[in-house]
């Protein structure tokens, strides 16, 4: 038995010295020092020895076990150090390799136009007021001089909700009423604001019309504000937005909440008025609806129309953005297609 023990020790040491990986070391440990390993098996055999040999065998078996356990610990340390060195070497960063380019985000084309609008109107003394997108029917229509059954309501097909009187605003004009009531202090203070924001219409989607789109509303209320102020203000905006030479023209129009009402065109900034595909050979592009605030609307905002007057306008930035970038379909704006968005 003692001889067997010595042979087992020699073999186990030789095998341990040949081990080079953690996996192989784990296998060696199971086979040699594990519950059913060679050392345990030897120790179990002590009972079959004559009584006088047992003490000497037991002592030697314990020494063998201790020697192998120590050998195992040393080998484990060595292998770990070698593996760490290997990992460090293979995982080294090659600083000479070209880096991965960081992908840059960008602003949505509508946001770019909206920011330009805001900048220009701010330079001209207009503050930004954010009105709500979920409106009530009264503010969106009735208080803007469009009582129920007024035919002008048909011009703006509406998203109704299951809650009576609650709708998605069809234009930014209801913000006029809210701003007059909030800042007019009972019709005693002048106002000069723009109201940018999203609007919703239950419309047939076409290349020029979406069910959601931005508008930038403008409102000025004061004493003695006249149509010439509106015309001059819009002409100045066009000059800043479309260039020094931008020509504007005003056409008579109709909105229930302004009287008189106009529509504003700017000379086509792509062809300089000569006529092209974009302006449909008219030489002019529509940029705004506008007019003098209707006395009824002023009254609904808390102002006495005998003393106060004002002008308002409503612009659609998506259509302008389409013209600026030659985009032929408004549906690209909200389709979340990166191939489109990455071009701006």
Q: Does 142 bind ligand FA5 (CB under 6 A)?
A: no
Tokens of 183: 């800042």
For residues 304 and 323, what is the distance between their CA atoms, to the nearest angstrom?
Answer: 40
Q: Does 171 bind ligand FA5 (CB under 6 A)?
A: yes
Q: How far is the CB of 205 from ligand FA5 (least distance, A)?
A: 8
User: Between 2-18 and 22-33, two packed helices, what is the crossing angle to 10 degrees?
Assistant: 170
For residues 109 and 107, what is the distance between their CA atoms, to the nearest angstrom?
Answer: 6
Q: Does 255 bind ligand FA5 (CB under 6 A)?
A: yes
For residues 291 and 115, what is the distance between their CA atoms, to the nearest angstrom?
Answer: 24
Long-range contacts of 46-55 (CB under 8 A, 24+ apart): 49/1, 53/1, 53/2
Binds ligand FA5 by CB under 6 A, chosen from 110, 139, 145, 258: 258
Q: Write out the H or E segment, with its range, that includes residue 81.
A: helix 51-90
- Note whether 162 and 193 are within 8 A (CB): no
* 29 versus 217: smaller Cβ distance to ligand FA5: 217
* 136 versus 203: smaller Cβ distance to ligand FA5: 203
Q: Does 291 bind ligand FA5 (CB under 6 A)?
A: yes
Given the rule CB under 6 A, which of 74-82, 102-110, 129-137, 316-324 is the region that contacts ligand FA5? 316-324
Q: How far is the CB of 294 from ligand FA5 (least distance, A)?
A: 9
* 184 versus 316: smaller Cβ distance to ligand FA5: 316
Tokens of 96: 């000479």
**Strands 191-200 and 127-128, how do they pair?**
parallel
Tokens 């009824």 identify what position? 296
Tokens of 148: 């129920």
- Note whether 262 and 286 are within 8 A (CB): no
Binds ligand FA5 by CB under 6 A, chosen from 27, 138, 189, 203: 203
* 29 versus 267: smaller Cβ distance to ligand FA5: 267
Print the binding letters for residues 65-104 with ligand FA5: x by CB under 6 A, - otherwise: ----------------------------------------
Q: Does 109 bind ligand FA5 (CB under 6 A)?
A: no
Binds ligand FA5 by CB under 6 A, chosen from 16, 221, 290, 292: 290
Q: Does 318 bind ligand FA5 (CB under 6 A)?
A: yes
Tokens of 293: 């605030």
* Burial grade of 295 (CB within 10 A; 0-12, 13-18, 19 or more): middle
DSSP annotation string for 317-342: HHHHHHHHHT---GGGGGS--HHHHT
Q: Does 256 bind ligand FA5 (CB under 6 A)?
A: no
N-to-C CA span, the chain: 86
Q: How far is the CB of 310 from ligand FA5 (least distance, A)?
A: 10
Print the binding letters for residues 209-248 with ligand FA5: x by CB under 6 A, - otherwise: xx--x-x-x-------------------------------
Q: Does 197 bind ligand FA5 (CB under 6 A)?
A: no
Please report, as ranges, the residues that interact with ligand FA5 according to CB under 6 A: 171, 173, 201, 203, 209-210, 213, 215, 217, 255, 258, 289-291, 312-314, 316, 318-319, 330
């Amino acid at each position: 038995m003692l001889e067997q023990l010595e042979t087992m020790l020699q073999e186990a040491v030789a095998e341990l010295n040949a081990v080079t990986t953690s996996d192989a070391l784990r296998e060696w440990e199971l086979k040699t020092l594990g519950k059913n390993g060679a050392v345990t098996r030897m120790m179990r055999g002590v009972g079959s020895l004559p009584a006088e040999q047992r003490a000497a065998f037991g002592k030697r078996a314990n020494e063998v076990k201790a020697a192998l356990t120590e050998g195992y610990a040393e080998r484990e340390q060595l292998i770990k150090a070698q593996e760490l060195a290997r990992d460090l070497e293979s995982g080294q960063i090659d600083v000479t390799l070209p880096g991965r380019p960081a992908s840059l985000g960008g602003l949505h084309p509508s946001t770019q136009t909206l920011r330009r609008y805001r900048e220009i109107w701010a330079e001209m003394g207009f503050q930004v007021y954010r009105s709500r997108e979920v409106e009530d029917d009264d503010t969106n229509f009735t208080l803007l001089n469009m009582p129920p059954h007024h035919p002008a309501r048909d011009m703006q097909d509406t998203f109704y909700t299951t809650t009576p009187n609650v709708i998605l605003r069809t234009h930014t004009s209801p913000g006029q009423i809210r701003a007059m009531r909030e800042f007019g202090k009972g019709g005693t203070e002048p106002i000069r604001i723009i109201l940018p924001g999203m609007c919703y219409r239950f419309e047939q989607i076409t290349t020029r019309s979406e069910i959601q789109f931005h508008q930038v509303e403008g409102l000025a209320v004061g004493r003695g504000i006249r149509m010439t102020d509106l015309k001059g203000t819009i002409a100045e905006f066009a000059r800043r937005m479309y260039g020094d030479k931008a020509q504007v023209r005003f056409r008579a129009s109709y909105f229930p909440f302004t009287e008189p009402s106009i529509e504003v065109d700017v000379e086509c900034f792509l062809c300089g008025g000569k006529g092209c595909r974009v302006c449909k050979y008219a030489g002019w592009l529509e940029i705004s609806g506008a007019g003098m605030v209707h006395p009824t609307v002023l009254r609904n905002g808390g102002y006495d129309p005998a003393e106060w007057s004002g002008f308002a306008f409503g612009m659609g930035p998506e259509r302008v953005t389409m013209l600026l970038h030659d985009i032929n379909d408004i549906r690209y704006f909200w389709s979340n297609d990166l191939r489109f968005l990455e071009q701006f």
